[in-house]
Amino acid sequence: MTTDISERGLESIIVRHMTGTTGLAVAPNRVAERPPAYGGTGYTAGSPQDFDRAHALDVAQLFAFLSATQPDRFAKLEIVSANGAKDINRLKFLARLSSEIGKRGVIDVLRKGVDHGPLHFELFYGTPSAGNDKAEALHSANRFSITRQLAYSIHETRRALDLGLFINGLPIATFELKNSLTKQTVADAVEQYKRDRDPRERIFEFGRCVVHFAVDDAEVRMCTELRGKGSWFLPFNTGHNDGGGNPPNPYGLKTEYLWKEVLTPAGLTNILENYAQIVEEKNPKTGKKKRSQVWPRFHQLRLVREALADVREHGAGKRYLIQHSAGSGKSNSIAWLAHQLIGLKRDDKAVFDSVIVVTDRRILDSQIQATIKQFMQVGATVGHAERSGDLRKFIEQGKKIIVSTVQKFPVIMNEVETESEKAFAIVIDEAHSSQGGKTSAAMSQTLGRAGHDADENEEEASDPEDTVNAALEKRMAARKMLTNASYFAFTATPKNKTLEMFGEALPADGEGKVKHRPFHIYTMKQAVEEGFILDVLKAYTPVASYYKLVAKTENDPEFDTKRAKKKLRKYVESHDHAIRLKAEIMVDHFHEQVITAGKIGGQARAMVICSSIERAIQYFDAFNAYLAERKSPYKAIVAFSGEHDFGSGKVSESSLNGFASGDIAARIQVDPYRFLICADKFQTGYDEPLLHTMYVDKPLSGIKAVQTLSRLNRAHPQKHDCFVLDFQNNSEAITFAFQDYYRTTLLADETDPNKLHDLKTALDASQVYAPDQVQKLAELFLAGADRDKLDPILDACVAVYVGQLDEEAQVAFKGKAKVLCRTYAFLSSVIPYSNVEWEKLSIFLDLLTPKLPAPREEDLAKGILEAIDMDSYRVEKKAVMKIALEDKNAEIAPVPATAGGFIPEPELDRLSIILKSFNEQFSTLFTDTDRVAKRIREDIAPKVAADAAYQNARENTPHTARMAHDQALGRVMQHLLKDDTLVYKLYVENESFKRFVGDMVYEMTSPL
């Protein structure tokens, strides 16, 4: 016989491995005597004839399980036989069980069992605790079965699934298999589910089956709810080369991990007990409840299992950096990790007393808490620390999981007193360097304070110097990362501090460099290739701005060229005319390219990224005005923090939007709101799958660029692409920003602590302070002295700084002081030793630096904006481009420990020269600007004004008048073809120029 390369052959491979048989021709109702599990796999082959299609249950396996584990109760059902079609007791019990599965879902029924009359039946016995022989015996009595060619349909009896997987007769998973050697792939299996598997069939109803797998010899895809064509299948692959798919397997098929690792009885039991769940979310506005079924993605499963295994081996005290891409499901990963860390034991003793989850994203604060509660068997073990005293109270009460935000933690930490022998797991969400180090230091000081405090009854040291040194040692010890805590830091974009603080140190290379890498990785590359997130760089479109400025003054003053050009650029881009033009482009693009194309099933939203609150409010006004002119059914929302002076008074989000700030995230999801105009809000931590298009009018770089553009990448069943229109940045800058986080991010080398010695030597040499001043100030500060005792010492140093250092030396001193404080604050938590002199100098400089005046630098560009005016402005969309990132890991440099402050030499030039240079750089591309302007003023505008149809329409509404004007202008421009080819060509081919001419002529010809 030749090799069976059909999907039937793949069926045989799977079933033979799991059961030791082909699974074909299994006799029905022959399960009273349970056959030995083949090779210890724990599965038996089921018969398709034992499947009750009306109730979606393998009745023979179900009854065999009940009679073996609960014989007395099962006997009271008085069921005659497993397949007795007219047995009323059989039908009543099956109907009851089927009804409960339909209402609660099979996961909950497996966990909690079912009541039938006065009887309660367990449907599954979970993982037994160590040493519990009875529980072990019951657990081993669970019946894991797999059935080939499962005929599932009541009406179309010939329809059959390739495989059905059951536990104790309850359906867990279905499979459609394909084989690429017959030119059918996993995509065909997905299509078969969508096209041929009617979701109204009993087995496909929501919650009756936990997961549906589409499988071939190369890939696995999964779906937790069949919805016909709307079924959403996601990859369930291990990943290969930091990307999607599965690696070559020298011992078998690429996808055999599914049946050899994931779906073993132990593996499946673990998923059902700790991961799979039906989550119910209630819409706060409508009150409607939405249920969704959760099955872990492969990378989530692997992360949690590997982390638990490592803690089980090493105990508390290690640090783990998890680099998981945006859209990777970090909330669920954090929830699953947190609740399983609590149950983790080592040498029969719990490893951790409490797990503290810290998030910097307010929008995820409640989400993580709710997710943890969903997966916890006892919700009372979760506490949400919202105010002072909560954290201490929860730890004292023995709460196992405590959720807090970084913002709330500093208030809470002073309230905490705990036993030093307790162990903690600290899970930090979005651990960027901006808060990762501060968070861990705050945690260390809080949770470890009792371990470092001296006994209250102990006599105080008699020597004042000993007292100071003891206080310094206490400060330094409290800042160290705890040895009785494990840190789990999640981020998609690890910076150098994050990698050095939480990453895994690799052996030193030949040059003595010690690189750091994450403990677990799910890369942006893999997330994009697997379709968990969208590629935001696939349709990136930069927009070039062109403008011309003219002088309003007859004289020709001098200005600092560099500063002047910065001011001119800001002036031009924030000019009301420019804002209005860009707003029109955004609105027109959204209507014509996004709405008309039906993106995300017609539900697409757009985000506008602004450089300041003032710009955001300008855009909000411009959007409102133009949307009204277009008679658009849509509206904009503006988002910024606090109150802001604008126009004649103060404005806020709520005063402009007409509803509370807290409602913004919910409002943008429903019509008429389609545009979210942001100034620093919603650029990070905002998860909205309906966002399709982003309009960027703000310089972006580094992590900020990645985080901002990544707001678009969230997947949605109807979302197939996204779009970026960028008015400020170019493709090179965006590529540079994303490259560091496309694959694994490594730290090139550790920060050199000796740099602190170098900085201290340079600062000491400046003679701004004396050693006795540093010592005295540290003593006073640590003793809690009043400000009036500290300030004389600091003010004396400030007088030296101002009186004896020139401007260049002042810049150098202040720069080095800031770097020392910043670097020491980081290094003091990670280096294994302490240095009292560094600590004292750090205290001193932290207090001195804010008092040091910045060198007075004259603004040699002052007054330039009053001397110029804008003559013309237009923008031009460049070609849509797909930014391709290099397929390689990135290495980022360690924390810099050198100061680079200096005063730049001003480059003075005449206003005329500055304007000429500026206009050449941002040229309007008109070969003869004056002639074009004259043609518009003296030829085109009078002819439009004389148009009869336009004259009549000017008496009507402004909208009617503008329509008639545009038609008249079009007719005049047609006649211009023969006289002025350049102007005509610009008008026809350049949309911005066309708009500019239209606005200019309408303004000249419309009645006052």
What pLDDT, in 10s, does the model give residues 294-321? 999 999 999 999 999 999 999 998 999 9
Predicted confidence at residue 937, as pLDDT, reads 76
Percent of the chain with pLDDT over 90: 37
Q: Give the SS3 label for residue 288.
A: coil
What three-state secondary structure class fits 28?
coil
Q: What architecture (CATH level 2) is domain 297-522?
A: 3-Layer(aba) Sandwich (3.40)
Superfamily of domain 540-747+864-921: P-loop containing nucleotide triphosphate hydrolases (3.40.50.300)
Residue 219: per-residue pLDDT: 95
- Rounded CA-CA distance 90/93 in Å is 5
- 8-state DSSP, 593: I
- Measured distance CA(73)–CA(66) in Å, rounded: 8
Residues 7 and 188 sit within 8 Å (Cβ to Cβ): no
The first and second tokens of residue 681, run together, are 């809000």
Portion of the chain with pLDDT greater than 70, in percent: 79
Higher-scoring residue by pLDDT: 800, 29:
800
Residues forming CATH 3.40.50.300 domain(s) in the chain? 297-522, 540-747+864-921
pLDDT digits (tens, 9 = 90+) for 564-598: 666 666 766 777 877 888 898 889 889 988 999 89
- Top-confidence residue, 543 or 428: 428
Helix (H, G, I), strand (E, B) or coil at 413: helix
pLDDT of amino acid 414: 43
Higher-pLDDT residue of 773, 5: 773
More confident residue, 877 or 735: 735
Does residue 391 carry a pLDDT above 80? no
Structure tokens at 871: 């003559």
Mean pLDDT of 229-235: 92
Lowest mean pLDDT among 127-136, 213-222, 259-268, 968-977: 968-977
- What is the mean predicted confidence (pLDDT) over 83-105? 90
CA-to-CA separations, 771 to 22, 560, 668, in angstroms, rounded: 84, 42, 59
- Tell me: pLDDT of 68 over 90: yes
**Is residue 844 scored above 90 in pLDDT?**
yes
Judge whether residue 410 has pLDDT over 70.
no
Highest mean pLDDT: which of 414-418, 701-705, 928-932, 1003-1007? 701-705
**What residues contact residue 649 under an 8 Å CB cut-off, 6+ apart?**
none
Q: Is the pLDDT of residue 807 over 70?
A: yes
Q: Is 357 helix (H, G, I), strand (E, B) or coil?
A: strand
pLDDT at residue 436, as a whole number: 43
559-563, 768-772, 839-843, 884-888, range with the lowest pLDDT: 559-563
- Is the pLDDT score of 388 beyond 70? no
Taking the C-alpha atoms of residue 416 and residue 445, their distance in angstroms, rounded to an integer, is 10
Q: What is the mean pLDDT of residues 886-890?
A: 80
- Give the model confidence (pLDDT) of 745-757 as tens digits: 887 877 888 888 8
Residues in the chain: 1008
978 versus 954: the higher-pLDDT residue is 954
- pLDDT, residue 451, reads 32
* Tokens 């379709």, located at residue: 531
CA distance 365 to 373: 13
* Residue 856, pLDDT score: 64
Mean pLDDT over each residue of the chain, to the nearest integer: 82
Pair of tokens at residue 613? 């609150």
Which of 388, 400, 447, 402 lies closest to 422, judged by CA?
447
Distance separating alpha carbons of residues 357 and 425, to the nearest angstrom: 8
Taking every pair of C-alpha atoms in the chain, what is the biggest distance, in angstroms?
109
**Residue at token pair 């651990």:** 431
Mode of pairing for the β-strands spanning 649-651 and 644-646: antiparallel
Can you tell me whether residue 216 is helix, strand or coil?
coil
3-state secondary structure of 405: strand
- C-alpha 928/C-alpha 548 separation (Å) is 12
Pick the closest to residue 547 from 865, 864, 872 (CA basis): 872
For residue 59, name the pLDDT band (cuts at 50, 70, 90).
Answer: very high
806: its two tokens = 């020139």
Residue at 808: amino acid letter: E
For 809-874, the DSSP string reads HHHHHHHHHHHHHHHHHHHHHHSSS--HHHHHHHHHHHHHGGGSPPPP---TTTTTGGGEEEEEEE
- Beta partners for 144? 43, 167
Tokens at 39, concatenated: 């090779």
Q: Which residues contact 655 (CB under 8 A, 6 or more apart)?
A: none
**Cβ(382)–Cβ(372) below 8 Å:** yes
Which of the four pLDDT bands, split at 50, 70 and 90, describes residue 450? very low
Alpha-helix residue ranges (DSSP H) falling in 78-208: 88-104, 106-112, 133-140, 186-196
The pLDDT of residue 332 is above 60 = yes
pLDDT at 925 over 60: no
pLDDT higher than 80, residue 228 = yes
- Other CB atoms within a 10 A radius of the CB of residue 592 amount to 10
CB 637 within 8 A of CB 616: no
Task: Read off the pLDDT of residues 365-377 as tens digits, 9 standing for 90 and up.
Answer: 555 666 666 666 5
Give the mean model confidence (pLDDT) for residues 759-774. Answer: 92
Task: Measure the CA–CA gap between 265 and 269, rounded to whole angstroms.
Answer: 6
Token representation of residue 55: 């109730």
Question: What amino acid occupies position 970?
Answer: G
Q: Does pLDDT of 167 surpass 80?
A: yes
> How confident is the model over 451-485, as pLDDT tens digits?
333 333 333 444 556 667 777 777 776 666 777 78
| pLDDT tier for residue 399 given thresholds of 50, 70 and 90 | confident
* Residue with the larger pLDDT of the pair 659 and 477: 659
More confident residue, 183 or 221: 221
